[in-house]
Each structure stands twice: as C-alpha cells, then as structure tokens.
Amino acid sequence: MNCQVCGSQNETGSFCSKCGSPLVAQDQQQYYQGQQHTYQNGPTQGQYQEQQYQQQQFGNSYYGGPQGSPQPNPSEISAKAKDYLSFVTSALKKPFEFGSSVNGESWINGLITLIISSLFSSFILATFVGYIFNLFNPFALNNLYNPMATFFSGFLSSILSTAVTVGALFVVVKMINKVNVDFKSILARYGAFMVLPAGISVIIFLFVLIRLGNLAFLLFVVSLLCGFLGTILTALSYHSQAKLDKYYSLLILYAIIGVANYIVFQIT
C-alpha cells in the first residue's frame, strides 16, 4: 500500500519503511480521501450523516482520520505525573494548610488519591484474610479462600464507602453550612486530606507482605484515625455561612455517612 505521507510503496507492515508514518489500509485510505474532498467542498446534511456512519464502522483505528482520537502525548503524561507528585508532596508537608487551599481544579489528583487508598486497603484485606485462613491449614479451610474475590469485594466496598463520604460532605457543606461550593472542590479537598492515610496504607501493605504484623496493625489504627480526621478537616476547612454550630453539622455529617453506608451495603 502507498504511504499517505511520502507516497512510497510498502508491501507489508503497519508503518512506512521510508518515513515511519502509520500505513492506512486501502479501503480506509479511499474513505479518508473521500472525506478530505467532502470537507474541502463542504458536506451536505446527507454527507454528514454518512460520515458519522462510516466513522462508527471504521472506528478510530486509522491515523489522522476525521474525528480521530488524539494520540497520547508523553510530555502531557509527564506533566500530569509531576503535578500529582507536587500535590502529594504539598499535602504531606502541610496537610491542613494545603488541603484548605485546594480547589476544584485538582479534583483528578484527589480522585487518584482516593482510588489508591481503596486499592491498597483491599490488598491489605485480601492478604490479611489469607493469613487467617492459613492459620487453620490443618482443617483445610484455606482451600475455601478466594483471594481475588476478597480483593474485589473489599475494593468495591471501599469505593462505595468513599463515594458516600464525599457525597455526604457535599450535602453538609453546601446545603447545611450554606457554602457556595461544587462537587469537584469537595472531591479535591477530601483527596488532599486523604493523602497521608493513603500513604500509610501503602506502607501497611509492605509490612503485611514481609509479615511485620504488629507494626502493620499499629499503622492500620493510625490510618483509620487519619481518615476520620480527614473527613472532619474537609468539612471544617470551609467557612460556614449557617447559624448552626459546626459541632452539630459534623454530627449530621457522620449520621448521613452511617445511614447511607448502611443502605448501600444492604442493597449491594
């Protein structure tokens, strides 16, 4: 097939042997050329509908076609990784000061942190339960244990519990404390306060793997306290516009979290 970039002939392969550009199959090349002609002359309504249909048929597998998906940019990935690293570093250096200043623009970083926390918590649960079953090896109970099922069950429970907490924070801060805030801001700020618990959960997982059970249990208690504190600090980091005292708003927050978790886990 002919290369669309340099025009050289290629017998096989997915890339041009001369310039290295991705090669386009003959049927897709004809379609691509027809699309170029259509765009130059202005598509009619019927042509536009045909373009949509053909796009669904071919997908985005050809390079550079109309409406093609943008290719991942390594520099953008590197920039996002550095941004998240800066987010984590700042949250660890000055947890309350940084967490109280985070806004909705950092919601992706907050979401990543919460996912990491849920992920490693599930790893810890699956590993710990596996050790418990191994203690009863003479009774062959370990044959009944499915680590993957335990992991996915724990991960789903952790994600649902996190979602409930973020939702409850949004309801209390916006509706009860009457703060003009959006959901992304709550997600980003709660994620910032959960950086430390997430980091501790990673360390706990390593301790569990090397069977330092006592240290792992101690850090587990610390991570629970940090998570509890992170929820409170997220709510307190916003200046309340309501007459209701923050003490009672926190009681309402945890009442909502408790009831919502109970309902969710009864349904699931």
Q: Using CA atoms, how far apart are residues 97 and 237, in angstroms rounded to an integer?
A: 9
- pTM, two decimals, is 0.69
Query: For every one of its 268 residues, what pLDDT tens digit does the chain have, with 9 covering 90 and above?
Result: 677 667 777 777 666 766 766 665 554 555 445 544 444 445 555 555 555 555 554 444 434 444 445 556 778 888 889 999 999 999 999 999 999 999 999 999 999 999 999 999 888 888 877 777 776 665 555 566 677 888 898 899 999 999 999 999 999 999 999 999 999 999 999 999 999 999 999 999 899 888 887 888 899 899 999 999 999 999 999 998 888 999 999 999 999 999 999 998 888 6
Domain count, the chain: 2
Last residue of a domain, one of 29, 51, 71: 71
Q: Using CA atoms, how far apart are residues 43 and 247, in angstroms rounded to an integer?
A: 63
Same domain, 29 and 103: no
Tokens of 179: 């703060």
Q: Using CA atoms, how far apart are residues 139 and 137, in angstroms rounded to an integer?
A: 5
| CA dist list (Å): 40 to 37, 55, 64, 191 | 5, 18, 16, 48
Same domain, 89 and 165: yes
Last residue of a domain, one of 71, 87, 112: 71
Same domain, 50 and 110: no
Indicate the angle between helix axes 213-236 and 195-209, nearest 10 degrees: 170
Note the pLDDT of residue 97: 94
Q: Buried b vs exposed e over 96-120: b needs ≥16 C-beta within 10 Å?
A: eebbbebeeebbbbbbbbbbbbbbb
Tell me the HSE value of 52 on the side-chain side, using a 13 A CA sphere.
5
Q: Using CA atoms, how far apart are residues 51 and 57, in angstroms rounded to an integer?
A: 10
Q: Within a 10 A sphere around the Cβ of 190, how many other Cβ atoms?
A: 27
Q: Using CA atoms, how far apart are residues 255 and 248, in angstroms rounded to an integer?
A: 10
Length of the chain: 268
Residue 62: domain span? 1-71
Same domain, 122 and 13: no
Same domain, 165 and 51: no
Same domain, 57 and 174: no
